[in-house]
Amino acid sequence: MKFFDFLKKNILFTLLFGAFVALIYSPLVFTTSYCADIEYVQGAKGKIYNWNELGRYTLILLKKITFTPYNRILEGVLFIITAILTVFALSYLFYLLNKKAKSVTLFILSAITLIFPTFCEQYYFRFQSFEVMFGIFLTVVSGILFIKYMETDKLIFLPIPIVLNVLSFGIYQSMLNIMLVIYAGIFLMLFLSDIEYDKIKAFIVMALQFVAAFLLNRLVIFVFCEKSSYFSDKIMWKQYPFDTCYHFVKHYFRVVLLAETPMYTISFAVSIVLSILALIALFIMVWIKNEKFTIIFSLLGFFGLIIGPFVIAIIQGFEPDSRTQLALPFSIAFLCFFTYGVTEKTVLFIKEVKFHKDEEEKADDSKKKSHSFMIYILTGGLIIILLLNLIPTLRLTYTRMMINNSDRKHLTAIAKDLEKYHCDAEYPLHPVIFIGTLPYECGGFGYQYDSEQKEYILINAFTLDSETNPEYFFSTNRALSAMECLGYDYNKPEKSNYMKKAKETAANLPSYPSKGYIEDTGDFVAVNLGNY
């Protein structure tokens, strides 16, 4: 089935699941809440963040074409449109790999691919949400064109994926992981498809396309991006001992596999276990059919799906930010799809062995019934995997939105009142100590780890200058409670030496928002937040 025929046949599913994905993230891409990066972008008119230094040339180009550097509404609308297109592209990709799969199965797999907690952190910085989704779309289309090349052997489908991947690399560094995972998933799924192809040729073409895209990306960075890229100063293997970097990478594997933070779910571990069982079943079938050569190549694809999401961590020798982990749900979707396909073939294989030729009519009837029942079971399993990702994603998205909406008015008012205490350059910047309930308005980046005290210090208050002075201290659990609602686990912030005296001072002050809730003692500025 051709591209537009598939769209015409499944237009309802495309719009339904595309809108489903877009609506989940829309509170983030349309948000008006504060965020350190957003503040920087809005305050640096005429500049486009530090994307040139990071080698994000396509991102800069898209900003100039769409005029969206500071337009959150247009950015959000383009994000939703691109999300719908990406759902369709993913569904068509899965269809090409298993043309017998039901439409609803294909779109559930698409939702599994695009709904994951790490995407919440990514889209919270709304000024690149559309571009990141567009990069994913380009990478998926490159996978579709690769399959088309294997199907038709037409040379026109050979160079285009390279160009698309170069463009996607220029949007976000995680597209490297996504490309590896998509190609590994395609390579694994080709064994279950009806496409006749040369396995060695497929592997060579994949490798050449990846190397060509990577080298062209480096060339563009060298020419247009001041010879700088995201990895220029982030290779920890050059800066730290091997054992230290190895520990970081090993710890990252454990965090992801065991879902030790709210950014990851157990769906990855579950999909690995299920796909291993599927591999065993596949090995038995190909062994019986004397197709042992298939085993080696299927292991390559499986290994690529497991390692692909961790490539950036391995290159850096360090645990990357959770928002950069965009390839993991792709790996989960392909592993689930592989399990789906192998289970389907295994049941049919058992039926063929079980029935004799003189019972063909009875066998066909039994096959149809068992096949339908099996499809329901497998689809139900995919829905469970989707829910494992969907529930924490919704919690992160909507809990953050509610907390931000509740606190924004308090943040703005208190920040304005504090300005007069630090507006004079000659005025000593005394520490500011908040007593009471602190409005929550910053993410995990607002916490700075103190290596001596072994605790986290909250230094980013009310979007004021957190890199120099003044220092901020709190005797409150409000911010930490909000982090716990989102699923994080932080230690209590370090206390100032003036904390005891600040509590005594605040006890004699009216509480916010009453006039006079701030007092400068000469040693520190006390702020009585009270309880609201």
- End-to-end, the C-alpha distance of the chain in Å comes to 60
Instruction: Write the DSSP symbol of residue 310.
Output: G
pLDDT of 86 strictly over 60 = yes
pLDDT for 414 equals 74
pLDDT surpassing 90 at residue 31 = no
Task: Reply yes or no on whether the pLDDT at 248 is more than 50.
Answer: yes
Least confident residue range of 72-86, 129-143, 253-267, 413-427: 413-427
Q: Which is more confidently placed, 140 or 201? A: 140
Using an 8 Å Cβ cutoff, are 167 and 59 in contact?
A: no
pLDDT of residue 434: 77
Task: Work out the average pLDDT over 477-499.
Answer: 62
DSSP code for 465? -
Dist CA 141 CA 148 (whole Å): 10
Structure confidence at residue 448 as a pLDDT band (50, 70, 90):
very low
- How many other C-beta atoms are found inside a 10 Å radius of the C-beta of residue 19? 15
CA distance 138 to 167: 8
Of residues 242 and 438, which shows the higher confidence score?
A: 242
Averaged confidence pLDDT in the chain: 78
Share of the chain above pLDDT 70, in %: 72
Residue 33 has a pLDDT of: 57
Q: What is the DSSP string of 122-168?
A: HHHSGGGHHHHHHHHHHHHHHHHHHHHHHHH--GGGTTHHHHHHHHH
Q: What is the CA radius of gyration of the chain?
A: 27
* pLDDT above 70 (res 246): yes
Q: Average of pLDDT values for 88-98?
A: 90
For every residue of 94-109, DSSP letters joined together read HHHH-TTS-HHHHHHH
Report the distance separating Cα 461 and Cα 474, nearest Å.
10
Residue ranges per structural domain of the chain: 3-354, 408-530
Provide the pLDDT for residue 269: 95
Q: What is the mean pLDDT of residues 486-503?
A: 67
pLDDT of residue 404: 67
Residue of higher predicted confidence among 462 and 201: 201
d(CA 438, CA 528): 10
Least confident range of 142-156, 178-192, 396-410, 448-462? 448-462
Check residue 352 and give its pLDDT.
66
In angstroms, the CA 396 to CA 399 distance is: 6
Q: Binning pLDDT at 50, 70 and 90, where does residue 329 land?
A: very high
Mean pLDDT comparison of 358-372, 389-403, 477-491, highest-scoring range = 389-403
223 membership: H or E segment, kind and range: helix 199-224
